[in-house]
Chain A
């Protein structure tokens, strides 16, 4: 099956620094990638939808300048947490969708392993 890989799995950084998380589709071209944030023991909250070659669409309440998303190729999307603060500590998980048209169906959406960010 399709594989989505995230890197790094774990990252610890100092407050004020920026952190980049990569999401790669390994064996398919992902026209759309999604970035989610998950607080401990809570559900996944969609942060933004990333389309290759265009600007990301952010969900309400998500700071665009804080969470920079770049989808420069059909296999890579990056999330950069700028000037990270302890409240940005969270589990970030991406998912990728193939370019299949049509309605909802299985096999279109694949999740990465997630990246756990800790800001000291």
Chain B
């Protein structure tokens, strides 16, 4: 069965600095997708970035990039130039090809200070 682990319950970063949120996963399936979502205090889940297991390059979306290390089974999210509005919960998730459900990690709460 697949599993997602986020070992950082909380992270602090100063505005304009970069921050890395850790995510490791466990699956024996060779085909899978990795997702990062942001959940502000209002509750909605905001999709940030996606990485497919066969993608050759690390995914990037604006200030978000995914540091995908397949051999280590890690998919860390890097947020560059943090903004106050980045303060939120961040969830890493995985979905196996051919299956429909997402399995989420426990989340990391990011606080960006001025």
Contacts and interface: CB of A to CB of B under 8 A. Distances in A.
B9 to A, nearest CB: 9
A64 B85 CA distance: 39
B102 A43 contact: no
Contacts of A114: 43-45
B50 A106 contact: yes
How big is the B interface, by class? Answer: 20 to 34
B25 interface: no
B104 A44 contact: yes
Interface in A80-114: 91, 93, 95, 97, 103-106, 109-114
B31 A113 contact: no
A104 B52 contact: yes
B45 A111 contact: yes
Contacts of A45: 104
Interface string B93-104: 001111011111
Contacts of B96: 104
Given A42-B106, A49-B100, A49-B101, A104 B32 contact: yes
A34 interface: yes
B27 to A, nearest CB: 12
B43 A104 contact: no
Interface in B63-113: 91, 95-98, 100-107
B97 A34 contact: no
Interface of B: 31-33, 35, 37, 42-47, 50, 52, 91, 95-98, 100-107
Given A44-B102, A95-B45, A112-B44, 14 more contacts: A34-B102, A42-B106, A43-B106, A44-B104, A46-B102, A93-B43, A103-B31, A103-B52, A104-B32, A104-B50, A104-B95, A109-B35, A111-B45, A114-B43
Q: Please list the 10 inter-chain residue pairs (A to B) with the smallest Cβ-Cβ separation, ordered nearest first.
A: A104-B33, A111-B45, A114-B43, A103-B97, A106-B50, A113-B44, A43-B104, A44-B104, A43-B106, A104-B95
Interface of A: 32, 34, 42-46, 49, 91, 93, 95, 97, 103-106, 109-114, 116
